[in-house]
Chains A and B, each alone.
Chain A
Amino acid sequence: MTAAVRPKVELLSPGLIDRILQEAWLILEREGVLFENAEARALFRDAGASVDEAGQRVRIGRRLVEACLSRTPESVTLYDRTGEESFRVGGDDVHFDPGSAGTRVVDHRTGRERPPVSEDLVTLARLADALPNFHFQSTGLVASDVPPVLGDSWRVYLALLYSAKPIVTGTFRVEGFGPMRDMLAAARGGPEELRRKPLAIFDACPSPPLKWSHLTSQSLIDSARAGIPSELISMGMTGASSPATIAGTLVQHVVENLAGLVLCQLAAPGAPVIFGGSPSSFDMRKGTTPMGAIETMMIDMAYAQIGKALHLPTHAYMALSDAKTPDAQAGYESGIGAVLAALAGINVVSGPGMLNYESAVSFEKLVIDDEICGMSYRLLEGITPREDPLAEHLFREFKPETQFLTLPHTRKWYRIEHRQSPLPDRDTYDAWVAAGAKDLPERASERVREILEGTPARRPEAGLADELRRIIVDDARRSGVASLPL
């Protein structure tokens, strides 16, 4: 029996990939990229790159980039907190996780945004843990009830306490890295174990155009040395912080990400790096950055294709929406994004649950998007010829009254072939009315409550919880934070 064909979509011809790369090599070598971080510049200088210290500019030859590319692992395997379940980030494997660092949460009682508090972070971790189609969780909200100096490490603390899934996160300050790494290492049983079995990905964004800030360069260096995978998040905004054309923005994207990748390899040869991004089209009327625009998704799919051509794991911010409530726009933008990301074979897809560009999280939308992600995984399984013959044998004794519902073949296959989806409305009209005529956000809201009331959080054992507490309390003390909300 033959296997299923994995559906796949590619937007770039090999010729166009080559042109983009050629221009990227040229820019890296001739114009170079700005690195604000002195240690980063020293690493480049030691590796023979041409460094203009005064202008903070680093020019990187193609040979160095290619040497670094050849040292970068083609895939990274993440392990959950228990160390048992593993996820390969590479090939055409797809893993969805909720979007990151929202500064607002949509309150399901009022339908309006408000600042998130620590309880919301707990809810997010628990939902991400319970919803089956998120392979990873993410530190998707920034708590407003802890002082901002503790914003980054506090998120990782709660994530480790309320979910066992691997974590997509990132630093907000240079000092945040230490405690974040220590908590991850504690969960794993030591820094070497963490290196062998990564538990988290750290996102780091270059500053378009062509610059890596002090903070994000440091995150790349520190993560590389600790064996923590870095996700390179170039984020040009067409016509605002990158060229207006899609192909032009791709050139900039490749330059920025490759400069970051070289830094990772110089800091620690063989460091795991993921070729990611959060570019967007730019709304020339509102001055906003629509993540749900089709051009945004096209840029994502295309740079991921280039990442694959460079034999790198890939990431994108897709399956999210610019709508302000979980409405039809939220559904179509997230749905189209998720399906396209899956068809493009993007390894880490961050975004579900997010609204209002990248700034708000809705728990109802998270539940809805989980369903979308489930559909996307199913699509990727493709069509498998389950039996040989496929169906001819079912028609051998064909009679007009043949009923498929009663065939053993049906009972054998229907559960395997078809997803069971309780969330979408598949009632008859009368049954829907009888059940209260609820729309999707209402049903999703009920599902949120069911999970929170019925699915206990996967908490770490007491010893680890104590150790994590010790690390965060220590970080709080050093940061001058007197009390913690939870």
Chain B
Amino acid sequence: MDLTRFQAMSQAVIDGDREAAAALAREALSRGFDAQAAVENGFIPGLQKVGSLWESGEYFLPELLAAAEAMKAAMAVLRPALEAGREAALSLGKVVLGTIEGDIHDIGKNLVGALLSANGFEVVDLGADVKIDRFISAAEETGASIIGLSALLTTTMLGQKRLVEELHSRGIRGKFKVLVGGAPVTQKWADDIGADGYGENALAAVRAAKALTGRE
């Protein structure tokens, strides 16, 4: 694959252009190019550029989310072509994410999910109003390493505690790292309930997730 094609892939992510990203990915496959190279030399450098545009204050959330979407679109095309072991190496880990039962606030959770996936995590988004049981079964089924719980209400915050207790009572506490967040949630609450990590905002959530997977 030539340099300009890699550059076009980067650019599609930088522009947040989903269609272009997916089309470039399909084109790479149909021409028999290496999927791995497309990801590593094409799309990921785009994501890195987006990160630095964010850091420098040029990019805001809409650009960041659009880039994450473009990346996702490309990965959806390329994933089947990646060798199994290599795919895992590209992912920082799987996160099951959702808002606790009884709580429909999902904007913060969506932001966290978008930034996690933009940073290389594979996010299984269960949506809002999710039962404790569902979090656990989804985590087991997908082999996730992190369960991310969002709660915006003082009532539903308690669900975070219940989940930790439930993991204990099922004897699987050690299998998953529990990451908590949401406006009323604090580091102290996270400590009190024995969660593994806390993120005040979406960027902190990414930092915490990286710390939990030992990738930072």
Which residues on A are within 8 Å of B, measured CB to CB? 103-104, 142, 144, 148-149, 151, 172-173, 207, 213, 237, 239-241, 284-287, 357, 359
Q: Which residues of A contact B212 (CB under 8 A)?
A: none
Nearest-Cβ distance from residue B132 to partner chain A, whole angstroms: 16
Question: Which are the 3 A-B pairs with shortest beta-carbon distances?
Answer: A148-B155, A284-B60, A284-B61
B62 is an interface residue with CB less than 8 A from chain A: yes
Interface string of B171-212 (1 = CB under 8 A from A): 000000000000110000000000000000110000000000
Known: A103-B183, A287-B108. A151 touches B154 (CB 8 A): yes
What are the residues of chain B within 8 A of A151 when measuring CB–CB? 154-155
Contacts of A207 in B (CB 8 A): 104
Collect the chain A residues with CB atoms within 8 Å of residue B57's CB.
Answer: 285
> Do B201 and A213 touch across chains, with their CB atoms under 8 A apart?
no
Contact A149 B104 (CB under 8 A): no
Q: If A148-B154, A151-B154, A239-B62 touch, does A286 touch B184 (CB 8 Å cutoff)? A: no
Verify A359–B154 contact, CB threshold 8 A: no
Indicate if the CB atoms of A287 and B201 lie closer than 8 Å: yes
* Assembly CA distance A240 to B201 (angstroms): 16
Could you list 18 further interchain pairs (A-B, Cβ under 8 angstroms) beyond the known A148-B158, A284-B61?
A103-B183, A104-B184, A142-B154, A144-B154, A148-B153, A148-B155, A149-B155, A151-B154, A173-B155, A237-B107, A239-B62, A241-B107, A284-B62, A285-B57, A285-B60, A285-B61, A287-B107, A359-B184
Using Cβ atoms and an 8 Å threshold, which residues of chain A touch B153?
148, 172
CA gap between A142 and B157 in the complex, in Å: 13
Distance of A127 from chain B, by nearest CB (Å): 22
Residue of A nearest to B57 (CB): A285
- Secondary structure call for the B interface: helix
| Range class of the B interface residue count | 10 to 19
Q: Which of A104, A142, A286, A287 is the most central at the interface, judged by chain B CB atoms within 10 Å of its CB? A: A287
**B201 touches which of A103, A148, A239, A286 (Cβ 8 Å):** A286
Q: Assess whether B155 is in contact with A213, with CB atoms less than 8 Å apart.
A: no
B128 nearest in chain A by CB position: A207
Closest residue to A148 on the B side, CB-wise? B155
Q: Are A213 and B104 in contact (CB-based, < 8 A)?
A: yes
- B residues contacting A by CB (< 8 A) are 57, 60-62, 104, 107-108, 111, 153-155, 158, 183-184, 201-202
Q: Which residue on chain B has the smallest CB distance to residue A103?
A: B184
**Can you sample 17 A-B contacts with CB below 8 Å?**
A103-B184, A144-B154, A148-B158, A151-B155, A172-B153, A173-B155, A207-B104, A239-B62, A241-B107, A284-B61, A285-B57, A286-B201, A287-B108, A287-B201, A287-B202, A357-B183, A359-B183
Q: Which residue of B lies closest to A244 (CB)?
A: B62
Give the distance to chain A from B43, nearest Cβ to Cβ, in Å: 24
Please name all residues of chain B whose beta carbon is closer than 8 Å to the beta carbon of A285 when the two chains form the complex: 57, 60-61
Chain A's closest residue to B64 (CB) is A284
With a cutoff of 8 Å between Cβ atoms, the chain A residues found around residue B108 in the complex are 287
Do B111 and A287 have beta carbons less than 8 Å apart? yes
Quote the shortest CB–CB distance from B31 to chain A (angstroms): 38
Partner of A103, one of B62, B104, B107, B154: B154
Least distance between A294 CB and chain B CB atoms (Å)? 18
Q: How far is B108's CA from A286's CA once the two chains are assembled, in angstroms?
A: 11
With a cutoff of 8 Å between Cβ atoms, the chain B residues found around residue A213 in the complex are: 104
Shortest CB distance B3–A (Å): 33
B155 touches A172 (CB 8 A): yes
Which residues of the other chain, A, contact B184 by a CB distance below 8 angstroms?
Answer: 103-104, 359
Most A C-beta atoms less than 10 A away, residue of B57, B107, B158, B202: B107
Contacts of A287 in B (CB 8 A): 61, 107-108, 111, 201-202
Nearest-neighbour CB distance to chain A for B205, whole angstroms, equals 11
What's the Cα separation between A285 and B202 when bound, in Å?
A: 11
Q: Report Cα–Cα, A73/B36, bound state, in Å.
A: 66
Instruction: Tell me the nearest residue of chain A to B156, going by C-beta.
Output: A148
Q: Which residues of B contact A142 (CB under 8 A)?
A: 154
Contacts of B201 in A (CB 8 A): 286-287
Which residues from B are CB-within-8-Å of A148?
Answer: 153-155, 158
Q: How far apart are B201's CB and chain A's nearest CB, in angstroms?
A: 6
